[in-house]
Structure formats: C-alpha cells, structure tokens
Amino acid sequence: MAKKRKSKALLPEYVVLLMIDDGDEEHLAFLERCRLNCDASVHEECLQLAGTRHFTLAKGHLSAEEAETIRFSRSPGLPCRLPLSKLKGFKSCLACGLDQSTADKVVDLSKTLILPEAMKLTTGSQLHLSLYRARGKKGLETEVSRMRAANENKSLGTVTGIRVVVKIIGTDYSTSRTVELSSS
C-alpha cells in the first residue's frame, strides 16, 4: 500500500536551481550600468548576490525524503553557456531572459532530472535570471525603469550554468544540495 502524502500546505516548497557564474565582461559591464543607475540603498537591499544567482528549473512542495530522490538520469551537459538576450517585462524585478534556442537548451537540461511528481518544471518562456528583487523594499519599480533605460540596446552578456542544486525556498544557499547523477 502506498504511503499517504502530507498535505501540500504542511510541506516546504523546494526549488531546483541552475546556478550560474558571475558572467563574462559584457555581463559585468551590464551589472555595473545597473549599479550606477540604481539608488544605492535599493541596490544594496535588492541586488541578488553573486553566488546565489540562478535560473529556477522546477519547484514543488515536497517532504525531505522526496527531495533527496532528485537526481540526473544522465549527464546534464554542464557547464553550459547562456547568452542573455532581453530584459523581462517585470515591473518590480529586473530580470534577464533567454532567446528561444537557449531556453530550449535549459529546458532540455531540466528534462534530464528525475523529479518527484509534485515538482513542476519551469517552461522556456518562464525562465529568467532575477538580478534585482524587491524583498519588501519600496522604490524598486522606479529603479528598474532607470536600469532598463541605461541598458537599452546594450548587451546583457553571457553567464554560464555551472551546477544544479535543490533547496527549500527562503533558506540560505549553504543548505542547498548539489544534484548528482543517478547511480542506477
């Protein structure tokens, strides 16, 4: 007899993240233009810190036991270059998107994951790299407009996907687990 699952509301929400590096020189120049065109206090509180930047591949409410089962079925092909092609149209978040072929490559990588049924994969159009998030700070919408204007028709650069991790939303990245290849 199958073990009954706890209510979704009682389970923590896990995410599977494609962690990225700091990016190439063009990406670092893009980040510098953002910094120069963002209020210093908003920049300080809203910038997604290096080492925590990522693309969300999947999310779902899981037990710790279910989260431990997440593995790759085959080599995911990491590291992988990810040219950033556009700024997403979010009002209170500055996020970069991917062109269709790059998004398809990330979705293909996601499909190498063995995931519990409760996890939902992120679609190609949903994929984004959040760089500035409000986190309760007021004023980011205005700053996002300024940063967009400063980067109009300029390169966003390229980042590299370096590893995939699993973590509970809201916990520190030091609690994450790197996803490994399945041993079976």
Residue 180 lies in a domain: no
Residue 39 lies in a domain: yes
Number of domains forming the structure of the chain: 1
pLDDT at site 8: 63
Tell me the pTM.
Answer: 0.92
Residue 181 lies in a domain: no
Residue 126 lies in a domain: yes
Scored b (16 or more CB within 10 A) or e, 134-147 reads: beebeebeebbebb
Q: Using the 8-state DSSP alphabet, how is residue 181 labeled?
A: B
Residue 1 lies in a domain: no
- Give the pair of three-digit tokens for residue 77: 């092909």
Task: Give the helix/strand (H/E) hosting 37.
Answer: none
CATH of residue 86's domain is: 3.90.1140.10
Which range is least confidently modeled, 6-15, 32-41, 49-58?
A: 6-15
Closest CA to 118 of 9, 30, 1, 24: 9
Residue 184 lies in a domain: no
pLDDT above 90 covers a percentage of the chain that reads 85
Residue 6 lies in a domain: no
Range of the domain at 110: 13-168
Closest CA to 27 of 116, 131, 182: 131
45: left (phi over 0), alpha (psi -120 to 50) or beta: alpha
Residue 55 lies in a domain: yes
- Give the pair of three-digit tokens for residue 47: 């910038």
CB 129 within 8 A of CB 27: no
Say if residue 89's pLDDT is above 70: yes
